[in-house]
Amino acid sequence: MPSSIPNLSWFPEEGIRKGRLDTYLLQPAPTLFLASLTRSTPLELVQFVLGVVVIALGIRQLPTPGTVVAWVVTLAAGLAVTWSMGVLLACLAFWAPRLQLDIFYSSAWQLARYPTDIYRRPLRAVLTYFFPLALIATVPTTTLLDGPRVLVLAPTVAGAAFSCLLAIGCWRLGSVATPGRHLDSIS
């Protein structure tokens, strides 16, 4: 399976269909923490470093310290939204275990990687308020270029917190409702 969700790509097959989620449920650590950090691809940090280099080369003027702090906050919010989107998609496997999550995640990521300004008004509103994908690319970029704005930072942090809480809630709901459904009812 391609690893577009490297830390949760194993989940539908291994966790749900083969019943390996039970081993996480029996551990003393939070299940979501264990499941979302089971697999990672540290080599992909190279993309992060290259991204920082591109940003550093592309900035016309040196940003103020306040702008850099606000940018880091919006990047953290974007990371939280990306993580919660992956968890929410992984939660679909609790109720539809044969679903190919990579297709959904890849489609959502393609929408999120571009600034929402390129989309027309109805889709822009959906990507900003219903699926807060605007927090991944648009808000950090705008913050770095235009400087920090309280009217943007506060909703950004609130949206990221809400998406994380929603992901945690869906995970808890799914992991409590699913453990008895293994190979007998799925395969």
- Tally of domains within the chain: 1
Q: Is residue 42 part of a domain?
A: yes
Identify whether the C-beta of residue 17 lies closer than 8 Å to the C-beta of residue 187: yes
Which residues of the chain are modeled with pLDDT < 50?
1-4, 180-187
C-alpha 154/C-alpha 48 separation (Å) is 25
Q: Is residue 123 part of a domain?
A: yes
How high is the pLDDT of residue 3? 42
Q: Is residue 149 part of a domain?
A: yes
Q: Is residue 4 part of a domain?
A: no
Identify whether the C-beta of residue 150 lies closer than 8 Å to the C-beta of residue 74: no
Q: In terms of Cα–Cα distance, which of 113, 93, 94 is closest to 102?
A: 93
Identify whether the C-beta of residue 180 lies closer than 8 Å to the C-beta of residue 98: no
Residue with tokens 């994380």: 164
Q: Is residue 112 part of a domain?
A: yes
How high is the pLDDT of residue 175? 74
Domain that holds residue 111: 11-186
CA distances in angstroms from 38 to 10, 35, 88, 152, 166, listed in the order given: 9, 5, 17, 34, 21
Q: Is residue 3 part of a domain?
A: no
Q: What is the DSSP letter of 116?
A: G
Residue with tokens 């449920």: 25
Q: Is residue 151 part of a domain?
A: yes
Interacting residues of 88 by C-beta distance below 8 A, sequence separation 6+ = 163, 166, 167, 170
Rg of the chain over Cα atoms, rounded to whole angstroms, equals 18
